[in-house]
Amino acid sequence: MGHENVRVLRGTSLQVAAGEFLVIMGSSGSGKSTLLHVLGALDRPDRGVVEFRGRNVFGMTEGSRRDYRNSQVGFVFQFYHLLPELTILENVMVPRFIRHSLRQWFGQRRQARRDSQEIIERVGLAPRAGHRPNQLSGGERQRVAIARALVNRPLLLLADEPTGNLDEAIGAEILSLLTELNESGQTIVMVTHDAKVASHAHRRVQLTEGVIRETGGSSARSAAPLAMRKVVP
């Protein structure tokens, strides 16, 4: 901020096991979104290490890091970030499209379409596939965002306040969907300031003044190979 350095994360250390549903809690401005962006390689820490399955994410080449963001990680944001000019099906296909060169895409597009239709059906929106975002409710838009995040079958799903823009009833539906995905083996890291939302997770940690503190819950699964390890700015 101008000439002032703002330290967001201060010696933060975090481990997440494969198949875990972890919630990071904290007040507004505590650094939750920054931490999530660092884990997903959207932001680069000034120092420290982010490891994914034993590989240093920020030691990768730029091309490998792009592939990590596209194929290994799925992002779900509070405000959906859907492209208004595209249909629901086309929005879900976007990550698959940008994964390939134009020449490769012509050989992959039919499979990409089938995969996208399958994940749209999984989130309960098959009848809406031809609609555009402005024709959907907030809960339906968030389901589209989740489908888009899952279309490349990522190992890790990062969700930034996915119910924060929804009323309680619709938010509960989204949480139910995330829980169902986790029960099928999807690793999820979600940030929220809502204790009720956090109660759906295996484990909860608190981010306070840039430091992670364990607060409760325990994973129902054994600690399989770590999805991420040691975020230490």
Predicted confidence pLDDT, tens digits, the chain (233 residues): 577 888 888 888 899 999 999 999 988 888 899 999 999 999 999 889 999 999 999 999 999 999 999 999 999 998 999 999 999 999 999 999 888 777 777 878 899 999 999 999 999 999 999 999 999 999 999 999 999 999 999 999 999 999 998 999 999 999 999 999 999 999 999 999 888 899 989 999 999 988 998 886 644 443 343 333 333 33
**C-alpha to C-alpha distance for 35 and 48, rounded to whole angstroms:** 12
- Report the candidate in 216, 210, 217, 230 with the shortest Cα–Cα distance to residue 27: 210
Contact 198, 23 (CB under 8 A): yes
Is-above-0.75 flag for pTM?
A: yes
Measured in whole angstroms, how far is the alpha carbon of residue 121 from the centre of its chain?
A: 20
Residues 6+ apart with CB under 8 A from 73: 39, 40, 41, 154, 155, 156, 157, 158
Please name the CATH architecture into which domain 15-83+153-229 falls.
3-Layer(aba) Sandwich (3.40)
